[in-house]
Amino acid sequence: MPAPVLFVFSGLTQYVGAGLAVGLFATATATGVAWSRIAVASLLLLAVSRPWRLRWDAASLRAAAAFGVVLAAMNCTFYASLEHLPLGNAVAIEFLGPVLVGALTGRGVRERVAILLSLAGVTLLAGVTLQADGGLVGLVLVLAAAACWAGYILLGRVVSQQGPGLGALAVGMAVGALVFAPFFGASAVPLFVDPWLLLALVGIAVASSIVPYGIDQVVLRRLSSAQFAILLAIWPASAALVGAVVLQQVPGVAEVVGVVLVSAAIALTSRPGPTAPVAPEV
């Protein structure tokens, strides 16, 4: 399946998970919801992938652990930033992480132009304003999330090359959940004692963590880090298209231009050029 199609599917599941997560914010903090999502997803992935059956060396374990810690930090810092910044501003600023990866790892002018187009498109789609709501705390948090997103892409590519399967992802997410448990675990307790909230949490974990991060592992085996970073812009673009088709939310001029810019960036990366080696399928 083409990578852009996988990204669209991944983005749609993210939106489903986000819709479910909104209902939990009245019971737990945003960071508590983010942490509990990772914790539940790691348990489900461990049960399915059974990584203890694989052969691990020290380097592979270190890579998986570092990847998981960065993944958990990315989610928690971004959710925390939303308590201080408008969503549009936070989305656009966090996208600086993939932009940095694309700029530093791109192999030619085409990919660098594409990453600039995608940044402009995401900025328009996110509805960024010039308001300074949230101040320094929100800015620091979302910049930390952007740095973690960059690390997620680079470390995720290393982990994905360890072979097919979700064992490394399961181990990494479990480590990330354990590392951040002392900070956010207590605020998530109400979500685990109510059966209905726990069921919703399982749905969020599947839709917002297992499916998209699992797809990322597949795509990262096929593409370079720069190409992957550019394709991330599909998420806000597909959200705008879904809103127009399903919810009859007519996009404004800025949203239309944003979709066009993102589409142009994806078209540039789809043209033949140097690509990352593809890991053998088993």
Q: Are 159 and 168 in contact (CB under 8 A)?
A: yes
CA atoms of 267 and 251, how far apart (whole Å): 22
Provide the residue-wise pLDDT of the chain in tens; the chain has 282 residues.
777 788 778 877 877 787 778 788 888 888 999 999 999 999 999 999 898 887 888 888 999 999 999 999 999 998 888 888 776 677 777 888 887 887 777 777 777 787 788 778 777 776 655 454 556 788 889 889 989 999 999 999 888 887 667 889 999 999 999 999 999 999 899 999 999 999 999 999 998 899 999 999 988 888 878 778 777 777 666 666 655 665 566 667 777 787 777 777 767 665 544 444 433 333
φ, ψ (nearest 5 deg) of residue 16 = -60, -45
CA atoms of 101 and 125, how far apart (whole Å): 21
Q: What's the pLDDT at 237?
A: 67
Q: What's the pLDDT at 67?
A: 95
Instruction: Give me the count of residues in the chain.
Output: 282
φ, ψ (nearest 5 deg) of residue 54 = -85, 160
Q: What's the pLDDT at 46?
A: 94
DSSP string, 93-128: HHTHHHHHHHHHH--SHHHHHHHHHHHHHHHHHTT-
Residue 146: exposed, middle, or buried by beta-carbon count in 10 A (0-12, 13-18, 19+)?
A: buried
Q: What's the pLDDT at 276?
A: 42
Q: What's the pLDDT at 249?
A: 60
Closest to 120 in 3D by CA, of 86, 96, 154, 90: 96
Q: What's the pLDDT at 244?
A: 63
Q: What's the pLDDT at 256?
A: 74
Q: What's the pLDDT at 282?
A: 31
Closest to 99 in 3D by CA, of 113, 109, 85: 113
Closest to 138 in 3D by CA, of 86, 81, 89: 81
Q: What's the pLDDT at 66?
A: 95
For residue 5, what are the CA distances in angstroms to 94, 180, 215, 256, 273? Answer: 23, 33, 11, 20, 20
